[in-house]
Structure 1
C-alpha cells in the first residue's frame, strides 16, 4: 500500500483517467499483452467472453472496444501472470495469512492446484483431484440431515454451472441454495412480483435508445456499471433529462468523457450527465418519492381546474392498476414539512423533479443497492414502481423499471434454479426428468444460513465462487463461528479471506476462469449468461488456462455430485461435462417458457430476452393488475432509528471504491473521490466534523449504536471531509460489514441493511494503544 493521499479529483468519469487506470493494472498483473489481447474479445458475442464484472447489457452490434475501466480490471485480475501455488502455502500458515488484507491475498495470483488444509501445520497442502472429491463426497454422505449442508453460489457462474449446482443440491436433498442475490437485489425479487408480476427489470437497451427521461436512485454508475454511461451519453445528446437521487455526488453521474470518442479524448470535452442532482439523506428515499408523487397529484389538480391535459395517466391507471385510491389518500395525507424532514430535500427540490418527470412521455427508473439494502428496501422499490405507474411508464417502449445487477450472471443463475424458495422450483419437471422427489421445504437464504452457523446448526458449507465471509454482515460474530463447521469447500480462482476462515476439514478447488478456453471431450465449450435486461447469450473463453491442473466449474460440480450422490441413470454427469449442450437441453426441458431451443437461440447475434409480461402490460400478479403499494412508513430503517436527542449518532452507509468490484479490491486508488493509498477512511460532512469536536485527519473507532448485547466496532478510520448530507457518513465495503447486525435486514427479503447503520465515534489518542475518548457534540454557546 502506498502512502495515503487525499486530493479532490476534478476530471470526468472515463477519459484519460480511465485509460491510465487500465494501463496500470495490466502492468501490475504482469499481463499487458495477454490480458490486453483478451480485452479485444471482451463482450464480443459468439467469439468472445462475457465480462466477469458487472451484469450490464451488451449492445448489438458491439462497440469496437466493448469494455469499461472496471471490466478491464476484472479481465486483468483473472488473466494475471501471477500464480499462487503450493510453494506459496508452504511459506505461510493460514493464521499468518489472516492478517493480510483482501488486496494482498488476491494479488498472489491464480490458484493452480487443489489443496487441503492440514491441521498440524496450519497450511494448505496439495491433494489430487480424485482424493479431494472422494474425501468431500464421503464427508457429505456421512450426514443424516441434508439441511445441515449449505450450497452457496456466487453470481459469476454460467447458466450451465448454476443449473448443475442447483440440481446437485436438490438431489442431495436440500434447498439450502443462498446466493449473492440475497445480499443485494432480493428486495427487488420480492417487490416487483407483488407490484407488476415479474421478478426482474422490464427494460432493454432498445428502451434506453427511445426514452426521453431517466430517474436514478441509489446507484454509482461510474464505478459499478460504467458501460451504461454510453446509454446515458446518447440520452443526453437527445436532450433527455436525467434526474439523480443519491446521498453522495458520484462523478459518473456528473460528467463523462467517452474513451471511444477521439474528439472528446483529444479536446477533454465531457458531457453533463445529471440535469438535476438531489443529495437526499440516507434512508430518505420513501419520503422523497412520496413527495414527488404528492407534487404530481397537486399538479394534476391544477391541470383539471384549468381544463388542461391530465398529469396522471388516468386511462392506464383505470385499466391496468389496483390500489390507486388508497395510495392517493396516503400520499395526500403527508404534510410537506414531514416529507422534507424525512427525505432531507426541500419541497422545491421534489417539485422540480416532479415537474420535469411530468414533462416526459417515456421514463426509465434506474436503481441500485441504495434502494434495496434498507430495512424497508422492498417498499423502496415498490414506491419507485408507484411513481412510474402514475404516468403509465410501464409496459411501453422507452419506459419501465431497471434494477442494475452486480455480479455478471447473478440474475441468470436465479433463472435456472439457484433459489432457496421451494415454490420457485419446477418440481414437477425435475421429478419427471430425473426421477427423484425434490425437497419441498424452503431452504436457507444468506442471513438464515449465517444465523444457523452461529447457532451451530450447519455442518458443511460448500461454495461455488465468491468471498462469502467478507460479503456477509456481522462478520465479527460470524468468523469465530466458522470453526464449528465440520467441512468447508471453496471453488475459486484466487485466494481470499473465505479460504482462510474454515471448518475442521477444508478444501480449496481451483477452477477455470470465464476468460479461459474450456476444452472437454466433445471439443471447445461455450457457456451462457443473462444480463440485467434479461438478455441471454452464448460466449466462449479466449485465453490459455492459468494452469494445467485446473478444472472447469461444471467438471468440478459433476465430480462432487458423483462422489456424493447415489447413481442416477437419468443424470449422466460425465456426458454433461463432455458436452455442455446436453446441460442446456436439460435447462430447456426444465424451464421451457424461457429456454426452449436454447442451443439454437443462444447463438443469435444479439441474444434473446426472457419473456416478461409486464413489458407487454400483462400483469402476472395475484389480481391480474399492476398494484399500487401503499407506504406504511416513511422511515426505511425503523428497526435502528435513534432518538432525536442522540446528536452523537451518525447514519453510516457502506460504499465501493472506484478500484474494486464487490469484495474484490483491485487497488487503493478511489480516483473519483480523491482517496489514494488507503481504504481506512470515514467520509463525513464538515459540519458534523466540527460539531463533534473532530478535525480532518483524526483517527476514530466506529461502533454500531444499538444495544443488543454485542459490541461491533471497526477502525481506526481517518476522518475525511466529503460532500455528504449532514448526519450521514460513509465507509468502505466490505471493511465496515462488521458494523451491520445480522438482524438488521430488509423486511421480507432479508437483504442486509448496509445502507443505513447508526454509529458513534471514539477518537483514537494513540494508535495501537487502548487510548480513546468518546466523541460528543460541542456544547452550544451560552
Structure 2
C-alpha cells in the first residue's frame, strides 16, 4: 500500500452512522447524571486508583491545572469534594489512561487504515509512547530516536530559503514557560509565523477590546459574579463549554443577581443547575438560572443589542440621570453624541424582527438593565465566530459604557475562554503580530534582532501552505486539521509541505494528514510528573481572568521515552541554531525557574514571578481596565463608543444558516463519547438540528438522511450522510457538530478584522442523501 493520490488518508470523519436516540431537550444540568458520568469515564479507562489520585489534585492549590477549560479556580477555599466538573474528569481520564499507542501499534496499522476511524475512535487508542517518523512515500510510522528527530527537524528548517517558509502553531494546553521559549526560538530563527488556537476562538475578543479599553482580555474576577445585579450570557453554553461557571452563576443568583440568556438554542446550561458538589444539588430540584431567555436568530445578536440600547435610551429620557451614568460617560468615554445620534435611524419592530425576538421580551431585558449598574456581559464563540463578531463585542462594550458598568466591582466584560492557558500563551508572546515595544524588549534582554514583519495567523497559514509559500509546519499540541475550516482545502495544504511535526499526547487525525515526511513527538500531559534532575517540577498557566498559578503533575508517566515540551523546544533550538544562537537553551531546558526569571525581564506584570507563582492561589496580572483606566494608543485614557451596523441577512428559498457547536461529550476536537446529554441526543454525531416548520416545508421528516452543501467562493462543498433532528431552533437556522461539518466552512468565510473562521455563520442547502 502506498500513499499515492488514490490511497491518501481521508481528512474527514468517515461517513457512517450509529444508532441515534433522541429524548428531547433537558432543562437542568449537573446533579446525579453529571456525578455518575464523571465516575464512569474514569472506570471505562480502567484507572480507578490512578484517576482518583489525579482528581484530588486537579485545580487544587499545589496540584495541577485542569487540561480542559480556562475557567478560574476560587482564590480562597476550594471544594473538598473536588474542584472540577464532569468535562474536567473526561479530560483527565483521556490523558491519565494507561492505554498506549506504541511502535508495535503503528507497525500493525497503516496511516490510510487509521484514517478510516472516526475522531472518537482514534482518540480512544491511548497515549503515545515514543517519537515516530513517517518517511517520504511510506505507509506506516516507524520509531525514531529523539536525537534523530531533532536532526531531521533542523535539517528541514535550515534548508529553507527563508525562515518565513516555516510555521509554528501553538495549542492552548502549552505552559507559559514552554510557550515563551517556543516563540523565542521562532523569532531567533527569523519568523513571526506563529498561528495559535486564539486565531480560532477569541481573537475576535482581543481585536475588539485592545483598541477600545487597552487590553484584549476580560475585566472581571470570579468574585464579581458573586456580587452583581445582572449577568448577561450571550453566544455561550456554560453547561457544556465551561461547567464550573455554573457554580459561579448559582452563587450570584442566590445573592440576588438576575440572569439573561441569549442563544439560538435553548441550552440546559442556561436554564437550570443542580450543583453536583453539594448535597442539595445532587438530590434537590436545583436552581433556575435564567430569568429571561431570548432565542436570537443566528447573527441576529447585533439587532438584539441595538434594540436594547434603543430601549435604554427611551428609559433614560423618561428617567433622566437614573439609567445612564452621566459622570462616567463624561470622564471616561468619548463619542457619546455620535453614538446616540445613530438611533434616530432605528425602529424597534424592525430590530426585533431581525433578531427573531419579540418586542415584549426585548422590553423585559431592557427593564432588567435600566436601573442597575453592576452588570456583567459574558460571551463565547457564539459571538466571536460570526462575521461581525468584533462589532458585536464593541456593541456590548457600548452598553456597559452607557451604564458605567466597567471598572467597578460586580461589573464588566467576561469573554469565556475555551482552552486552559490559551490566554497565557498570548500573554507570553505567542502572537503572529507582536508589537514593536514587545520586540524591543526581547532585543534588550537577549541581544538579537527579532523579525519585525507580521507573520501568518491560522487562516493565512493554511493559504500559505496551499500556495506553496510554506514548507515546514510544526504544531505544539492541538489537532490542527480537525480544528480548522475548509477541511479538504486544509488537507491539500498540509500535503504540500515537506515536513509536518506534531507534539502530542495522543493520536489524532492531524497525524494522518501529513507532509512528504512527518514526525510525531510524544510529550508529558498536564497531570504527569515532570521530573528534571531528579525533582518534580511545576509549570505555570493563566486562567481566563488573568490569574497566573502553578501546575504540578502527580501521575507517573506511561512511558520512559516521554520528555516535556520545554525540552522539545530547547533541543530543537540547539539542533537548529547551533553556535549561531545567542540564547542559553541548555540552561532553560533544565530550569523552569530560569525560564520564569527571563519572562520576568521580558514581559511587564511578571515582577517577582518565581516568588509570586509559588503562592497558593497564584497572582493577578495587571489589568488597568479592571480599575476603570482605559489606556489606549488612539484614545489615551478614554474608552470610545463605537458605531456599528446591523447586517442585512438574506437567504434564498432553499438556503439555511448553519452554526457549528460541540457536544457535551466533547472538548474542542477531542471526542469523549457519543452522548450530547443535555440536548437529548445520544449515539450519533452526524446530525443536523432543524426547526420543525422548516422540516415540513422542505418535505423532510425527522430521522431522514440528508447531505449538506455550501457554495461559497463558487465551489461546491459537501458534508454527506447526516440525520435530521427536529429541534427548537429559530426558523431557517440549523446547528451541527464540528469537526464533522468544518468541511462546509470556506477558508474565506472569516470574521472582519480578526480573520477568524466564521463557523457560526455558514450558508447551506439540504438535500436528500444520495448513497
> Which TM-score band (shorter chain)?
over 0.9
Q: Following TM superposition, by how much is the alpha carbon of 1:522 offset from its aligned partner in structure 2, in angstroms?
A: 6.3
State how far apart, in whole Å, the 2-side matches of 1:259 and 1:352 are.
32
**CA 1:438 to 1:569, structure 2 compared with 1: closer, same or farther past 3 Å?**
closer
State how far apart, in whole Å, the 2-side matches of 1:55 and 1:200 are.
13
1:163 pairs with 2:177 = no
Which of 346, 361, 368 is the matching residue for 1:356?
368
Corresponding residue number in structure 1 for 2:765: 760
Conserved 8 A contact 1:373-1:754: yes
State how far apart, in whole Å, the 2-side matches of 1:705 and 1:712 are.
6
SS of aligned partner of 1:720: strand
Conserved 8 A contact 2:333-2:641: no
Which of 518, 538, 542 is the matching residue for 1:526?
538
Write the mapping of 1:116-265 to structure 2, written as runs, cut at 5 A: 116-265=133-282
State how far apart, in whole Å, the 2-side matches of 1:216 and 1:264 are.
22
State how far apart, in whole Å, the 2-side matches of 1:630 and 1:139 are.
47
Corresponding residue number in structure 2 for 1:716: 721
State how far apart, in whole Å, the 1-side matches of 2:615 and 2:18 are.
47
Q: Following TM superposition, by how much is the alpha carbon of 1:3 offset from its aligned partner in structure 2, in angstroms?
A: 2.7
1:399 pairs with 2:416 = no
State how far apart, in whole Å, the 2-side matches of 1:376 and 1:566 are.
46
Q: Following TM superposition, by how much is the alpha carbon of 1:569 offset from its aligned partner in structure 2, in angstroms?
A: 6.7
1:107 pairs with 2:124 = yes
SS of aligned partner of 1:718: strand
Which of 662, 670, 676 is the matching residue for 1:664?
670
Conserved 8 A contact 2:322-2:371: no
**CA 1:254 to 1:424, structure 2 compared with 1: closer, same or farther past 3 Å?**
farther
**CA 1:519 to 1:512, structure 2 compared with 1: closer, same or farther past 3 Å?**
same
Write the mapping of 1:457-606 to structure 2, written as runs, cut at 5 A: 457-521=469-533, 523-567=535-579, 570-591=582-603, 593-606=604-617
State how far apart, in whole Å, the 1-side matches of 2:591 and 2:257 are.
47
Instruction: List gaps (5 residues or longer) in structure 1.
Output: 770-782
Corresponding residue number in structure 1 for 2:7: none
Conserved 8 A contact 1:422-1:439: no
State how far apart, in whole Å, the 2-side matches of 1:13 and 1:625 are.
42
State how far apart, in whole Å, the 2-side matches of 1:538 and 1:43 are.
10
Q: Following TM superposition, by how much is the alpha carbon of 1:27 offset from its aligned partner in structure 2, in angstroms?
A: 2.0
Corresponding residue number in structure 2 for 1:301: 317
State how far apart, in whole Å, the 1-side matches of 2:687 and 2:173 are.
29
Conserved 8 A contact 1:651-1:756: yes
Q: Following TM superposition, by how much is the alpha carbon of 1:121 offset from its aligned partner in structure 2, in angstroms?
A: 4.1
**CA 1:425 to 1:684, structure 2 compared with 1: closer, same or farther past 3 Å?**
farther
Corresponding residue number in structure 1 for 2:732: 727
What TM-score results when the alignment is normalised by the length of structure 2? 0.96
Which of 92, 109, 115 is the matching residue for 1:92?
109
Q: Following TM superposition, by how much is the alpha carbon of 1:120 offset from its aligned partner in structure 2, in angstroms?
A: 4.8
SS of aligned partner of 1:151: strand
Q: Following TM superposition, by how much is the alpha carbon of 1:585 offset from its aligned partner in structure 2, in angstroms?
A: 0.5
Corresponding residue number in structure 1 for 2:747: 742
Q: Following TM superposition, by how much is the alpha carbon of 1:435 offset from its aligned partner in structure 2, in angstroms?
A: 1.6
SS of aligned partner of 1:150: strand
State how far apart, in whole Å, the 1-side matches of 2:407 and 2:223 are.
13
Corresponding residue number in structure 2 for 1:83: 100
Corresponding residue number in structure 2 for 1:654: 660
Conserved 8 A contact 2:137-2:516: no
Which of 50, 60, 67 is the matching residue for 2:65?
50
Write the mapping of 1:315-464 to structure 2, written as runs, cut at 5 A: 315-423=327-435, 426-464=438-476
Which whole-Å deviations, capped at 9, do the CAs of 1:175-233 have from their partners, x for residues lacking one? 00000000010111110012211110000112112212101110010001000111111
**CA 1:679 to 1:82, structure 2 compared with 1: closer, same or farther past 3 Å?**
same
Conserved 8 A contact 2:59-2:84: yes
SS of aligned partner of 1:589: helix
Conserved 8 A contact 1:642-1:758: no
Which whole-Å deviations, capped at 9, do the CAs of 1:218-267 have from their partners, x for residues lacking one? 0010001000111111111122100011000111111110111112313x
How many residues matched? 752
State how far apart, in whole Å, the 2-side matches of 1:719 and 1:474 are.
22
Conserved 8 A contact 1:594-1:610: yes
State how far apart, in whole Å, the 2-side matches of 1:478 and 1:117 are.
20
Conserved 8 A contact 1:327-1:628: no
Which of 619, 627, 650 is the matching residue for 1:642?
650
Which whole-Å deviations, capped at 9, do the CAs of 1:325-358 have from their partners, x for residues lacking one? 1111113421123211221112222111010012
Conserved 8 A contact 2:498-2:515: yes
State how far apart, in whole Å, the 1-side matches of 2:579 and 2:225 are.
49
Instruction: List gaps (5 residues or longer) in structure 2.
Output: 1-16
Conserved 8 A contact 2:258-2:291: yes
State how far apart, in whole Å, the 2-side matches of 1:341 and 1:441 are.
45
Conserved 8 A contact 1:171-1:436: yes
Corresponding residue number in structure 1 for 2:694: 688
Conserved 8 A contact 1:649-1:705: no
State how far apart, in whole Å, the 2-side matches of 1:667 and 1:49 are.
24
Moved more, 622-631 or 518-527: 622-631
Q: Following TM superposition, by how much is the alpha carbon of 1:81 offset from its aligned partner in structure 2, in angstroms?
A: 1.6
State how far apart, in whole Å, the 2-side matches of 1:612 and 1:162 are.
21
State how far apart, in whole Å, the 2-side matches of 1:569 and 1:185 are.
34
Q: Following TM superposition, by how much is the alpha carbon of 1:664 offset from its aligned partner in structure 2, in angstroms?
A: 0.4
State how far apart, in whole Å, the 2-side matches of 1:122 and 1:623 are.
58
State how far apart, in whole Å, the 1-side matches of 2:218 and 2:683 are.
37
SS of aligned partner of 2:141: strand
Conserved 8 A contact 1:433-1:570: no
State how far apart, in whole Å, the 2-side matches of 1:245 and 1:674 are.
20
State how far apart, in whole Å, the 2-side matches of 1:208 and 1:240 are.
9
State how far apart, in whole Å, the 2-side matches of 1:138 and 1:628 are.
50
Which of 665, 675, 679 is the matching residue for 1:673?
679
State how far apart, in whole Å, the 2-side matches of 1:191 and 1:263 are.
41
Conserved 8 A contact 1:374-1:753: yes
Q: Following TM superposition, by how much is the alpha carbon of 1:580 offset from its aligned partner in structure 2, in angstroms?
A: 0.5
SS of aligned partner of 1:703: strand
Conserved 8 A contact 1:112-1:547: yes
State how far apart, in whole Å, the 1-side matches of 2:303 and 2:637 are.
25
SS of aligned partner of 2:729: coil
SS of aligned partner of 2:120: helix
